[in-house]
Amino acid sequence: MRSEAAGSASASFPCPSPRSLPCPRPGQYARVGGACYDPAVPWTLVLGNNRIVNCDAVLVVEDEEVFRLRERDKDGNLVVDFDLRALDGTRIAKVAKNYVAYAAPGYAVRNRTGVAEVINETTGEVVARIEAQGPDTVTVVGTFHVKGHTVKITPTYLDTGGVTMSGNEIHGSGKAIALKRGSTGIGAA
């Protein structure tokens, strides 16, 4: 989460420590998920056409973080990890570092430079798509089943089964979107 102190850091003084190590200058650099980074270069996850910028957690369902953001070791680019599950909770696929690392029988994988997809072989439907839009921006679309909740993300909206979001930008909150039985939190602490 971007703090006021971190917001005053200058881009000309990049963090001397990789994001995976403790920040040597707390208060000058922001911390996301326990990692240090230069706030002049914000991390952004785009869900549909909703931009989530510098949030500690992007989507949390019943206290489970769905999308885990981190820095790729070799180049420092933003990557996302997540499990893709069927309605009954069984794992369909595992995405690691923006690429599909595993797909269950009946699902095809399409990994190309900067883009990965999980495809239902029976219907031909793209169940999830991950695309790197730049070194610090990743776009995700698909249908996500988490602990009894269904979250549908299309190129134009995000639907939580009760709240539809389109064209929003959420900056620097603890949890950008938090779902629990009977409630939806936007920009929650």
Structure tokens at 107: 């699902």
Q: What pLDDT does residue 41 have?
A: 60
pLDDT digits (tens, 9 = 90+) for 91-150: 999 999 999 999 999 999 999 999 999 999 999 999 999 999 988 999 999 999 999 899
Task: Report residue 110: phi and psi, to 5°.
Answer: -130, 105
Q: What pLDDT does residue 6 have?
A: 32
pLDDT above 50 (res 86):
yes
User: Among 6-20, 42-56, 64-78, 92-106, which range has the highest average pLDDT?
Assistant: 92-106
Kindly state whether residues 90 and 47 are assigned to the same domain: yes
Q: Is residue 111 part of a domain?
A: no
Residue 57: closest CA among 162, 185, 166: 185
- Structural domain count, the chain: 2
Would you say the pTM of this structure is higher than 0.85? no
Kindly state whether residues 52 and 80 are assigned to the same domain: yes
Kindly state whether residues 136 and 87 are assigned to the same domain: yes
- Which domain does 85 fall in, by range? 42-94+132-188
**Mean pLDDT estimate for the chain:** 81
CA distance 96 to 39: 24
pLDDT above 60 (res 163):
yes
Q: What pLDDT does residue 175 have?
A: 87
Kindly state whether residues 140 and 68 are assigned to the same domain: yes
* Average pLDDT over every residue of 28-42: 54
Of the two residues 146 and 17, the one the predictor is more confident about is 146
Structure tokens at 50: 């909703």
User: Among 62-76, 124-138, 161-175, which range has the highest average pLDDT?
Assistant: 124-138
Q: Is residue 89 part of a domain?
A: yes
Kindly state whether residues 50 and 29 are assigned to the same domain: no
Kindly state whether residues 74 and 160 are assigned to the same domain: yes
CA distance 111 to 80: 14
Kindly state whether residues 65 and 24 are assigned to the same domain: no
Kindly state whether residues 14 and 69 are assigned to the same domain: no
Identify the DSSP state of 40. T
Q: Is residue 144 part of a domain?
A: yes
Q: Is residue 85 part of a domain?
A: yes
Kindly state whether residues 139 and 76 are assigned to the same domain: yes
